[in-house]
Amino acid sequence: MIISEATSGIEALGDNKVKLTVEVDETELETAIDQAFRRIAADVRVPGFRKGRAPRRVLEAQLGYQYGRQEAIREALPGYYQRAVFDQELDVIDVPELEVLGGLEEGILVFDATVQVRPVVVISGYHDLRIEVPDPTATDEEVDDQIEKMRIEHIEYETVERPAQDGDLVTINIVGSHEGEALPALSANDYDYGVGSGTVVAEIDENLRGTSAGDEIEFAAAHPDAESSPLHFAVAVLAVKKPVLPELNDAWVAAVSEFDTLEEWQAGLDETLSEKKRSAVGRVADQKLSDSLAALVEEDLPEALINSEIDSRMHTFLGNIRNAGITEEEFLSSVGKDINQVRSEFTAPATRDVKLDLALRAIAQAEELNTPAAFEASIKKMAQAADLESGEYIRVFKEIGELVSARATFAKTQAIGWLLDNVDLVDENGQALEWHEIDSVFTDQIEHINHAELLPTPTDGAEQ
């Protein structure tokens, strides 16, 4: 809803607080009073009129004009305040303290709104940042390891006439018993057992090593219950088979993969592994850069700002829980915590992100990246994508209260762009890297702003 204009003045109070003095003329207030009497009519019964149909003059006669005026002020005051915030382009971070100074009974309505705004910080040290990350490219050894894992997955076994050794597969008949009674769970025929695998019981490997097809062995093994007598095993070795890795050639590659040749497969593995490493390295780089920037903000943060970020995180977190079909009470019971304990766990990451936000704004300001001309150029691009004139685009942004947010988004994105051009990124060997070589969310944001996708279309949700 677009509220008619009211005049307002602003005074800085210190401690990140400002005082807005807002004046609403009688013509505007009269509209609010008329709307108030319409609401009153819907809630009261007046003899001779259907509910909601009593005219204002009748209600005034019964309830008094002042009743409707005060009801109008009570209902409209938050809207007048919000309009003044939009007009002054204030970045408020807390609920206001409202005080009516005049106009409760007649004349111009005058009120003060004292509210905390987002602090502006100054930081230093960001010119010297150096972010070290693992090498994002796959090595020959990593590709070879992946190939070897694939060969092992397709291993075959060949019967041999020699004693069994670790890595072999022996086919056995095995009977496990305890105090003369056979145990079905420890007995099987034609059972393929991997020598050295350590399954069944610990003693089986030492007794199978060196056996050949046709051998029969018996041995004792410790019972899982230390106070029970040992288990007894009788094993007949039927066959010994050695592992045979598939030959690494084009024919085998074509049979087990989507590639036709070994060379193509190696290249594909290299790209797949490098893509995974770029993603992992991108997360490391994002975390390190974010932490480094947040650490540059040394000012004490307003509690309202931290709480707002925690509220946002809690809203998302609890929403995800509900989407998973779990109630808040069920979750809290399962983790043995109350809601305040869960909330406290978000304090550290929320504080870090608030500091990161302030640091990016500070860099944009210090490097003069968020000039009106630069913002206007960006808005023009956005407006073209939305098929609007840039002036119209800004007007609607202001009317729905998103202009301050849009300016901040632009400024922070420009700061990110500056950082990606100026912050040293190196691997563990000191080799210089480019940010576009890794999968960083920061580079993604720059890509979005370059394609006019970062800021929302202001007509979405605007009521005119």
Q: What is the pLDDT of residues 210-253, one digit of tens each?
A: 999 999 999 999 998 888 999 999 999 999 999 999 999 999 99
Supply the pTM of this predicted model: 0.77
> Percent of the chain at pLDDT above 90?
70
Query: Class assignment of domain 262-450?
Result: mainly alpha
Q: Chain-wide mean pLDDT for the chain?
A: 89
CATH architecture of 7-116: 2-Layer Sandwich (3.30)
200: left (phi over 0), alpha (psi -120 to 50) or beta: left
Q: How far is CA 456 from CA 93, 401, 404, in A?
A: 21, 12, 13
Residue range 129-139: mean pLDDT, rounded: 94
Separation between Cα atoms, residue 260 and residue 133, nearest integer Å: 35
Kindly list the domain boundaries of the chain, sorted by start residue: 7-116, 156-244, 262-450
The string of pLDDT tens digits covering residues 277-325 is 999 999 999 999 999 999 999 999 999 999 999 999 999 999 999 999 9
CA distance 345 to 310: 9
Residue 151 scores a pLDDT above 80:
yes
Classify domain 156-244 at the CATH class level: alpha beta
DSSP secondary structure, 250-263, as one string: HHHHHHHSS-SSHH
Instruction: Spell out the residues 6+ positions from residue 446 whose beta carbon is closer than 8 angstroms to its own.
Output: 413, 416, 417, 420
Q: Which residues contact 130 (CB under 8 A, 6 or more apart)?
A: 423, 424, 426
5 has pLDDT over 60 = no
* Residue 79 confidence class, pLDDT cut points 50, 70, 90: very high
- Burial, 240: exposed, middle or buried (Cβ in 10 Å; 0-12, 13-18, 19+)? buried
Question: Mean pLDDT, to the nearest integer, of 367-390?
Answer: 83
| Predicted pLDDT of residue 1 | 29
Residue 58, both tokens = 């009748």
pLDDT value at residue 458: 54
Q: Is 248:166 a contact under the CB 8 Å cutoff?
A: no
Q: Exposed, middle or buried: residue 152 (CB in 10 Å: 0-12, 13-18, 19+)?
A: exposed
